[in-house]
């Protein structure tokens, strides 16, 4: 965090000018309002329970639902398959589902942690703990937040692959009832607290110590349900009193007065069209940087209380595509550096770093993306313009394929 992380810097317009500038950078306004058609999926469609606590899309494109009372459900080829205590889950109350770099799924439940390889579910520890949220840090370590302190002690736990380490208020954790655990792009771990509804704010662990923030520093409410990091590295916190945005120096607030459907915010997302979505206790709100739209049961939502939002795009444009994937493995830049220290910062550039290689990699050819094999194209960092977080290799390879295979320009 840069500067003084505790400083509040109000401006003449209450910080609204800074907020509007931030929205212009990361959100896209304008255009005709989209007509949204809501489709409800319930137990009538194969879900094991209608109370959905978490939604997750794995690296194979399959959508998972963690339910409170019905176990975990996986949507594949249009059909739901359910996994319960009969398959090895510690509890049918599944609160969070996440995937590690090896493609294994970790399922947090109200009675401990499970790990899933293929369709086999095994114990992963923390038996008896009421877990609500899990995340992986830059080293691949798993963090699990425990709530309902009166029931199972509460606290935060970190697993390094061998053993568990517990964090409590003795280690400066802001509270014992953890509603949300989140890893930001700098590798810092954030937690949001509940404390029987009173809240204890948020905490940020930088690898050495905790930095805690409450309403005294600018958080709109100390009970924090959700977190999100925007493309500029600003942290968003969904609380029971609205949304707080922290840029590392100053705080900004969004509430019902600004356009939120409700001040209790349980989930947040920026979609591929640069629209911000908020799941609240009073419906779903969408913000494009200038105007708000809110949707409730009157508009087709099955329920106004929205705990989870995801965007699953591939199947929308290519139905059945994910059924052709035999296996998949994903790593972020930080995990890739751990996997191979030669890739500093996750940089996977190949070839000599000179002007010639910039344009002629992997071989000198008019179209470096095409290969002698019909229908096979290269889109890795071995093609121009090389490695980096830009996506241009894939973009240019796709243009080559469209031009050669379909005569599209």
Average pLDDT over residues 162-166: 93
pTM as predicted: 0.72
How remote is the C-alpha of 102 from its chain's centroid? 18
Average model confidence (pLDDT) across the chain: 83
Q: What superfamily does domain 16-317 belong to in CATH?
A: YVTN repeat-like/Quinoprotein amine dehydrogenase (2.130.10.10)
Question: Residue 193: which of 184, 207, 182 has the closest Cα?
Answer: 182
Say how far apart CA 293 and CA 324 lie, in whole Å: 37
Residue 2, pLDDT above cutoff 50: no
Give me the mean pLDDT over the 52-60 stretch: 90
User: How far apart are the C-alpha atoms of 278 and 315, rounded to whole Å?
Assistant: 23
Domain spans of the chain, in order of start: 16-317, 321-406
Compute how many other C-beta atoms are within 10 angstroms of the C-beta atom of residue 281. 16
Q: Supply the DSSP symbol for 151.
A: H
- In 3D, which of 150, 151, 141, 149 has the Cα closest to residue 173? 149
What are the pLDDT digits (tens) for 9-52? Answer: 343 344 566 777 777 776 776 554 556 678 888 999 999 999 99
Q: Is 146 exposed, middle or buried (0-12, 13-18, 19+ CB in 10 A)?
A: buried
SS3 169: helix
pLDDT of amino acid 12: 39
pLDDT tens digits for range 223-242: 999 999 988 889 999 999 99
Q: Quick one: tokens of 268?
A: 């947040």
Residue 70: pLDDT band by 50, 70, 90 thresholds?
A: very high
Report the distance separating Cα 324 and Cα 315, nearest Å. Answer: 12
CB 349 within 8 A of CB 386: yes
pLDDT at 157 over 70: yes
Do strands 94-99 and 79-83 pair parallel, antiparallel, or not at all (unpaired)? unpaired
Q: Residue 242 forms beta bridges with which residues?
A: 239
- Per-residue pLDDT for 368 more than 70? yes
Q: Among 128-137, 231-240, 339-348, which is the least confidently predicted range?
A: 339-348
* Backbone CA torsion sign across 335, 330, 204, 219: positive
Strand order in the sheet with 251-254: 224-229, 235-239, 242-246, 251-254
Tell me, what's the pLDDT at 236? 94
Q: What was the pLDDT predicted at 330?
A: 55
Find the mean pLDDT for residues 207-234. 92
Omega prior to 362 cis, within 30 of 0: yes
Which of 53-62, 85-94, 232-241, 344-353 is the most confident on average?
Answer: 85-94
Number of H helices, E strands in the chain: 6, 24
């Amino acid at each position: 965090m840069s500067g003084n992380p505790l400083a509040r810097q109000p401006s003449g317009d209450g910080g609204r000018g800074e907020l509007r500038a931030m929205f212009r950078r990361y959100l896209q306004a304008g255009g005709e309002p989209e007509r949204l058609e809501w489709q409800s999926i319930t137990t009538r469609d194969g879900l094991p329970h209608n109370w959905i606590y978490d939604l997750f899309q794995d690296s194979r494109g399959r959508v998972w639902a963690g339910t409170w009372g019905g176990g975990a459900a996986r949507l594949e080829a249009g059909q739901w398959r359910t996994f319960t205590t009969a398959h090895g889950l510690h509890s049918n109350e599944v609160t969070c589902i996440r995937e590690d770099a090896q493609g294994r799924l970790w399922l947090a439940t109200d009675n401990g942690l499970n790990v899933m390889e293929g369709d086999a579910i095994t114990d992963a520890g923390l038996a008896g703990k009421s877990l609500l949220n899990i995340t992986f840090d830059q080293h691949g370590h798993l963090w699990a937040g425990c709530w309902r302190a009166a029931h199972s002690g509460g606290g935060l736990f970190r697993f390094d692959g061998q053993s568990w380490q517990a964090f409590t208020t003795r280690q400066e954790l802001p509270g014992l009832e953890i509603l949300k655990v989140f890893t930001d792009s700098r590798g810092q771990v954030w937690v949001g607290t509940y404390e029987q509804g009173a809240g204890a704010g948020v905490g940020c662990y930088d690898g050495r110590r905790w930095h805690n923030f409450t309403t005294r520093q600018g958080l709109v409410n100390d009970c924090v349900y959700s977190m999100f990091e925007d493309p500029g590295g600003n942290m968003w916190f969904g609380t029971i009193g609205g949304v707080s945005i922290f840029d590392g120096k100053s705080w900004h607030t969004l509430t019902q007065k600004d356009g939120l459907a409700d001040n209790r915010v349980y989930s947040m997302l920026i979609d591929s069209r640069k629209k911000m979505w908020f799941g609240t206790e009073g419906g779903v709100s969408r913000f494009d940087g200038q105007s708000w739209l809110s949707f409730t049961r009157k508009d087709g939502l099955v329920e106004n209380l929205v705990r989870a939002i995801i965007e699953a795009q591939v199947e929308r444009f290519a139905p059945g595509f994910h059924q052709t994937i035999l296996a998949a493995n994903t790593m972020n830049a930080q995990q890739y550096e751990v996997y191979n220290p030669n890739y500093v910062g996750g940089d996977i550039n190949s070839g000599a770093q000179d002007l010639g290689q910039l344009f002629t990699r992997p071989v000198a050819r008019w179209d470096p993306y095409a290969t002698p094999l019909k229908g096979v194209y290269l889109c890795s960092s071995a093609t121009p313009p090389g490695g980096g977080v830009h996506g241009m290799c894939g973009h240019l390879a796709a243009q080559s394929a469209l031009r050669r295979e379909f005569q599209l320009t």
